[in-house]
Structures are given as structure tokens and as C-alpha cells.
């Protein structure tokens, strides 16, 4: 039965929130057009290097990163044993729509206004970055096991605040407007490449952009690398899914992104990856 999680409703523009104990706000009720100059002025002063610039790859060491996070990895091993025992005791898995792990965030389902979470630090090749503290241990465990298989994963963009997501989106709009598009056309095309502010999984710290030491471009080519293939085959073992798979663009409204992984927990991840679903389809079928 179609529960309405796959929809063609138009998105709305977001409202900026105040910093603090990381609330996540919803979307505004009216859209507003901006001139190219206004959008460029809004984006001025923001630097992409904390998120996507991997020029220091020559200094990258998975060993160093894993050693820095060793205390978290030890706890992860203990939790895995407990989780495996619990899984054996539960033959039928039931999912709760209120579970933070499987929260659906897209254009039609922006971040709930009352949603809060706690950020944790994770040491990466670009220094200390942040994501939801509840996913860090599984993320590090995935990196560690990938390394054992000869794959050196690199985290390049985890948590982003609302302001930075707005900047990324505005820059994409400006790029298309500079190519001759109207604001509305540019907005529509931009929303297929960059998730809308207020509807981005990065804003709740559950999405991670991942590359590797030999391929740092955020493009479709990453999916053909050893790292991209390893992730698609093993990510569910750690509770992650490929959030925007190829062939599901008509459902997700986002282009294929082989570098974008979302934490949903191991039970949901196993179903989603084994059955070749996107998160929207999972909601329609299991919730």
C-alpha cells in the first residue's frame, strides 16, 4: 500500500535556526527569489575545504585515524557481540516510524521541528569533524574492516549546519543562473544535485560522504572504485545504506551519489541493501 512516502510534492524553503543543542527545524511556508548578486553575497566567506577539499591526501593515514579513535573501536567490538546475540533471539523484526535511525528526510519530509541530537567528534584526515555521536563507533568499525581488505576510506563531509547547507544550495543555483537559467529553473535543477536546506540528512549528522585515498572526487566514478564497490557490498553490516542509488532518482529526486551513505541501523540496512531499495521504498513497504 502506498503510504505517501514517495511523493511529487514541491519542496518549500527553510528557515535558519539558532545554534545550540543542535535542534533541526522544518521548512518555511513561502519561497523567496534572490538575485545572483544576493546569492553570491550570502555565500561569501564560506570555505569548502572542511568538507570536500582533500589536497592533503599525501598525509592521509588510516592507521593514524584508527589509532586516534581506538577507545571507540574497542567499545564497538563489545557492542557487536551483544547485538549479534540479540538478533538471534528476534526472528521477526518490527520497525518503529519514530525510531531516529530510520527517520525519513527528503523534500517532502523535512527535518521535524522538534528533533534534537548530540554531535560527537571523529578524527579524520582533515582534522576533527562531527556527526551524530550514536553512529561514530560503527563508522570507525567500517573503516577499520575496510582497511583489512586493502581499502582506505576517507570521510570528507559528515555533519553540516543549516547555514552551510544553504550556502551549498545557493551556490548551485547561482551556477545554473550564470548559465542562463531562470531562478525557478535553476532551483529545480539544483534540488536534484544538492539536498534542500532543512531537508538534508547531513544536518542531523546521519549522512556521511565517503571517498578513498586513491579517488577523492564526489562523482559517479567513485562507484566503480574498489572503495565504492566495497562500501556497496559491506556498508549494511555496519548499519549504513547507499542513500541515493542508481535507478532510484525518480523516487529520491536526487541524482545517483555513490559516495553518500546514511546510517539507518543494521536491521533496516540489511533489508534495504539486500532488496535494492531506497529509504522511501523501505518506508512504503515496512512502515
DSSP 286: H
257 catalytic, yes or no? Answer: yes
214 vs 144: CA distance, rounded Å: 17
Q: Is pLDDT above 50 for 135? A: yes
Three cell numbers written together for 168: 551549498
Helix axes 266-275, 70-88, angle to 10 degrees: 70
Between 60 and 107, where is the model more confident? 107
205: left (phi over 0), alpha (psi -120 to 50) or beta: left
**Largest CA-CA distance found in the chain, in angstroms, rounded:** 60
pLDDT given at position 251 = 97
Q: Is pLDDT above 90 for 37? A: no
171 vs 176: CA distance, rounded Å: 9
Cβ(95)–Cβ(267) under 8 Å? yes
Cβ(79)–Cβ(137) under 8 Å? yes
Question: In percent, how much of the chain has pLDDT > 90?
Answer: 64
How is 207-248 classified by DSSP, letter by letter? Answer: EEEEEETTB---SGGGGGSHHHHHHHHHGGGGTEEEEE-TT-
List 137, 138, 166, 257, catalytic entry: 257
pLDDT given at position 119 = 97
pLDDT given at position 127 = 82
CATH numbers and ranges of domains, the chain: 60-83+96-160+200-286 (3.30.1380.10)
Looking at the chain, how many residues does it have?
287
Instruction: For residue range 201-222, list pLDDT tens digits in order.
Output: 999 999 999 999 999 999 999 9
Amino acid at each position: 500500500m502506498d503510504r505517501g512516502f514517495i511523493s511529487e510534492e514541491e519542496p518549500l524553503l527553510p528557515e535558519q535556526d539558532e545554534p545550540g543543542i543542535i535542534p533541526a527545524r522544518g521548512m518555511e511556508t513561502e519561497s523567496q527569489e534572490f538575485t545572483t548578486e544576493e546569492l553570491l553575497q550570502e555565500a561569501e566567506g564560506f570555505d569548502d575545504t572542511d568538507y570536500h577539499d582533500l589536497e592533503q591526501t599525501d598525509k592521509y593515514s588510516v592507521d593514524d585515524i584508527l589509532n586516534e579513535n581506538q577507545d571507540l573501536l574497542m567499545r564497538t567490538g563489545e557492542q557487536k557481540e551483544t547485538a549479534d546475540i540479540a538478533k538471534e533471539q528476534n526472528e521477526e523484526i518490527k520497525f518503529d516510524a519514530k525510531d531516529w535511525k530510520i527517520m525519513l528526510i527528503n523534500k517532502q519530509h523535512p527535518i521535524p521541528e522538534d528533533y534534537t541530537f548530540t554531535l560527537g567528534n571523529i578524527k579524520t584526515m582533515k582534522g576533527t569533524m562531527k556527526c551524530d555521536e550514536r553512529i561514530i563507533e560503527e563508522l570507525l568499525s567500517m573503516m577499520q574492516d575496510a582497511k583489512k581488505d586493502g581499502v582506505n576510506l576517507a570521510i570528507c563531509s559528515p555533519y553540516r549546519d543549516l547555514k552551510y547547507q544553504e550556502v551549498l544550495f545557493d551556490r548551485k543555483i547561482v551556477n545554473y543562473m550564470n548559465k542562463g537559467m531562470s531562478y525557478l529553473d535553476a532551483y529545480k535543477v539544483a534540488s536534484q544535485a544538492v539536498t534542500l536546506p532543512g531537508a538534508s540528512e547531513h544536518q542531523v549528522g546521519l549522512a556521511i560522504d565517503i571517498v578513498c585515498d586513491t579517488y577523492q572526487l564526489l562523482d559517479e566514478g567513485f562507484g566503480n572504485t574498489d572503495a565504492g564497490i566495497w562500501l556497496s557490498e559491506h556498508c549494511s553490516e555496519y548499519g549504513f545504506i547507499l542513500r541515493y542509488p542508481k535507478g532510484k532518482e525518480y523516487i529520491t529526486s536526487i541524482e545517483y551519489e555513490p559516495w553518500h551513505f546514511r546510517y539507518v541501523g543494521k536491521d533496516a540496512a540489511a533489508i534495504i541493501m539486500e532488496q535494492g531499495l531506497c529509504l522511501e521504498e523501505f518506508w512504503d513497504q515496512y512502515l
